[in-house]
Structure 1
Amino acid sequence: MNLNKVKLSQLRALVAIADCGNFSEAALQLDVTQSTVSHAIATLEDELGITLLQRGRHGARLTPVGDRITAHARAVLGLLDTIASEANQARGVQGGTLRIASFRSVATHVLPGAIARLHRRYPTIAISVHEMDELHQLKQALVKGEVDLCVAETIDGDDVETLPIFDDDYVALLPPGYRSITGTLSVDEMRKMPIIGSSHSSCGLRIRTVLGAQEHPLEIAYCIRHDSSMVAMVQQGLGLAILPRLAAQPVPPEVQICSLPFPIFRPIGATILKDALHTPALYAFLDALREVGEFSRIKAV
């Protein structure tokens, strides 16, 4: 007996006959000719020196030893499937492309650390980052399959699920030379300066809602699209700016950063489609995001 001559195709033929009960149906299942199946079984029986099947007019059935051999053949083929699954999973993590949609501030201050951690483990995963301005643009790209996940302000919806990362609090940027009377910014002091706010839909709405809820509502004097433009206006003494802490970085040395007299924050997280078939590379990236030490440091800036 020379087991080196036993082929996987012979084991597949044996299992197929056991399942189908005859050679012809087994051949159809394996997409080969009946003579190929017959030859495989005859060769296998010859190599093992035993009879695996009893042939008859009504088909083929396993002998007692054939039944035991078939059970082992199923186990061998099952292990082969496991090997293939492991290889496919490793190939998915070791290669491929991951497409991430993000806001500029998150792409600047959050993604680089997470991507660096991912590449230390899986250096061959290619990353593409798509920077967008509006929350609805991110969700549209995700739903259309143009990106694999969004790392930005969390997206609501029954068709998505989110991994929360941290809350990005809003701060006030005060113009050069300004010093608060009380040491902390008050609502009354905010009334003395034009307020510079974001024109982005989610961010602008969040700020206007809080300002409008004050006992004496505050209004935004300048609606600006880009964070850097808002900072530049503060540098020129045109007013105070309200924006997320991440978006404010880096703060020019002559500009004072101050906490607001009321809490405003935006939840930052990774959002993926709930029922999509995700790659191992995506899950590896989410594992990198779950290492919250870096995000704790960001929140404490």
Structure 2
Amino acid sequence: MGATMLRDQIKLSQLRALIAVAESGNFGEAGLQLGVSQSAVSHAIASLEAEMGIVLCARGRHGAQLTPVGERMVKHAQSMMGLLDEMEREANIAKGLKGGDVRISVFRSVATHVLPDIIARFHERLPNINFSITEYQGDDLCEGALRRGQADVGFTCLPTADDFEAWELFRDEYIVLFPPKAKIPPDPITWDVLHQFPLILPNETDYCFTLIRQHFEKLNQPLRAAYQIKEDSTIVGMVMRGLGATVIARLAAEPLPPEIQVRQLPVPLERVIRAIVLQDALLPPAVYAFLDALRTASYPERSPSQLPQAS
């Protein structure tokens, strides 16, 4: 039988029956799985074998076992059903994207410097999607918003709990800021240069402070904060006025006054920015479309990511 004739003869019900028999090992269980009778499964397999001219299953008292060619054919059948599932997914997304809402929980530096461009590009393609953006202050508030159902997608640099799926988007390096009039050698600076200045750092409850402290401890470097400040912009302002130096994530420091001197740490440090969703959450099509946009967006120091697909 020619390829075109075979393609015209094979039915999706036959492929589903073949896959079910492969998974269950007998016609009776396959019928229960598909919601049809055992004889219907047997007939579907027999018809498929007749149309293809090969034996797919060896029948016996202990069930049905795929033949070697049957094992190869079931892989093709699974691929075909997977493509159909993908077509259905795309169709459902298209139907659902005439409108929709995406609720985002995000910290300030990503909300300011990353999200606007992504949303603008997203709206060029899908202008009818509404966005609700909540900027959080505490490091644990992002996960809380998702757990309470107040947000669909979160952005965080924290390690995430087991009930979340997280995908790396990009990495944000920590830099050293020195006052405008300080005499600082060019990169690479030494730890001795940094230790000459009072340090202006985040509050101890801030995860960025934890990262900095762990980095210094790992390298056996002392870390003594002359000031501990909540707001990033205040830290930058104090450096600008000559009150000390700071170690700060680049995105958090922006926009930087041009007079401030920027150097790299003697040993690099970076934070990982991730998108997170609740595991097994029933996300609307608009959210999946936004996750696709995150996956293909351009970021500073961008790293490849794998974001969840609609199912």
TM-score higher than 0.5 here? yes
- Aligned mate of 2:241, from 225, 230, 236: 236
Aligned residue for 2:119? 115
Give % identity. 42
Q: Structure 1, residues 20-44: CA drift from partner, whole Å, max 9, x if none? A: xxxxxxxxxxxxxxxxxxxxxxxxx
| Residue among 239, 253, 256 paired with 1:251 | 256
Query: Do structure 1's residue 288 and structure 2's residue 300 form an aligned pair?
Result: no
Displacement of 1:266 after TM fit?
Answer: 0.9
CA deviation digits over 1:125-164, x for unaligned, max 9? 0001100122211111111111001023254121111121
RMSD (Å) for aligned C-alpha atoms: 2.3
Displacement of 1:216: 4.3
TM-score (norm 1): 0.67
Q: Which runs of 5+ in 2 are unaligned?
A: 1-87, 304-311
Per-residue CA distance 1:53-102 (angstroms, 9 max, x = gap): xxxxxxxxxxxxxxxxxxxxxxxxxxxxxxx9987643432212111011
Alpha carbons 1:197, 1:242 under 8 Å: kept: yes
SS at match of 1:234: helix
Counterpart in 2 of 1:212? 217
1:107-186 to 2 correspondences below 5 Å: 107-181=111-185, 183-186=187-190
Q: Which has the larger radius of gyration?
A: 1
Measure, in 2, the Cα distance between the counterparts of 1:186 and 1:282. Answer: 46
List per-residue Cα deviations over 1:245-274 (Å, max 9, x = no partner).
Answer: 101111101101111112221111210011
Distance 1:168 1:294, change over 3 A: closer
Q: Secondary structure at the match of 1:269?
A: strand
Letter in 1 for 2:298: G
Check the 8 A contact 1:196/1:240 in 2, yes or no: yes
The Cα shift of 1:212 comes to 3.0
In the alignment, is the contact (CA less than 8 A) between 1:135 and 1:155 conserved in 2? Answer: no
Task: Return the alpha-carbon distance in structure 2 between the equivalents of residues 215 and 263 of structure 1.
Answer: 15
Q: Which runs of 5+ in 1 are unaligned?
A: 1-83
Contact 2:171 2:300 in 1 (8 A): no
Contact 2:93 2:289 in 1 (8 A): no
Q: Tell me the equivalent position of 1:201.
A: 206
Number of residue pairs matched? 216
Q: Distance in 2 between matches of 1:261 and 1:156?
A: 29
Say whether the 8 Å CA contact 2:186–2:263 is kept in structure 1: no
**Is residue 162–residue 272 contact of structure 1 (8 Å, CA) maintained in 2?**
yes
Q: Helix, strand or coil for the counterpart of 1:221?
A: strand
Quickly say closer, same or farther: Cα 1:90–1:157, change in 2 above 3 A.
same
Deviates more, 1:181-190 or 1:238-247: 181-190
Matches within 5 A, 1:24-35: none
Question: Per the alignment, do residues 93 and 228 of structure 1 end up closer, same or farther by CA in structure 2, a change over 3 Å counting?
Answer: same
| In structure 2, distance between residues paired with 1:173 and 1:194 | 12
Whether the aligned pair in 2 keeps the contact of 1:134 and 1:202 (CA below 8 Å) is no
AA aligned to 1:160 is F
**Counterpart secondary structure, 2:145:** helix
CA shift for structure 1 position 241: 1.1
Instruction: Choose from 68, 80, 100 the match for 1:96.
Output: 100
Contact persistence 2:158–2:207 (CA under 8 A): no
Q: Partners in 2 of 1:101 and 1:166 — Cα distance?
A: 17
* Cα pair distance change 1:240/1:92, threshold 3 Å: same
Match of 2:36 in 1: none
Give the TM-score normalised by structure 2. Answer: 0.64
Q: Per the alignment, do residues 261 and 296 of structure 1 end up closer, same or farther by CA in structure 2, a change over 3 Å counting? A: closer
The verdict on how the C-alpha distance between 1:86 and 1:266 changes in structure 2, with shifts beyond 3 A counting, is closer
3-state SS of paired residue (1:197): strand
**Deviating more after overlay: 170-179 vs 205-214:** 205-214
Contact 1:251–1:257 under 8 Å retained in 2: no
